[in-house]
Amino acid sequence: MQVAIEEAKKGLEEGGIPIGAVLARDGKLLSKGHNMRVQENNPLLHAEMTCIRNAGLMKNYKDTILYSTLMPCFMCAGAVVEFKIPTVIAGESKTFKGAKKFLQRNNVKVINLNLSECRQMMESFIEKNPLLWKEDIGEL
């Protein structure tokens, strides 16, 4: 999760939304990414989507774990389900509920770490950038 947090901080430094993600298998880092929606002017580039894209083509995602600093939204959860990523570990879901129930209904193991560092980073960002955040989650 620490690498995902570092990715989130990198996104914030770039002027973007501070959400980071990591894909791993057997303790080995396969890819990482952060929300690039603002930087690339692309609404699809949430952290999880960027991370999966950065992994490149894979025969399968068996035994992988997707770490995200924030509970994935429905778009990102759909990618998790589509590629059969079996486990998602989220840093927090207080600032954004995400699609936990959807993931669980589709046989994805979901662990919410409720990390104060992730929550505080998002709370601070949302307080300073409420319109950008609402745009990111489709609430404008």
Chain mean position to CA 114: 14
Rounded CA separation 49/72 (Å): 10
Q: Is 82 a catalytic residue?
A: no
Query: Strand locations in the chain, DSSP E?
Result: 20-25, 28-34, 64-68, 87-90, 109-112
CB 46 within 8 A of CB 19: yes
Return all residues near 10 (Cβ < 8 A) that are at least 6 apart.
Answer: 20, 34
Helices (H), 14-115: 37-40, 47-55, 74-82, 100-105
Q: Say which of 6, 14, 40, 48 is annotated catalytic.
A: 48
Torsion angles phi and psi, residue 31, rounded to 5: -165, 165
**What residues are labeled active site?**
48
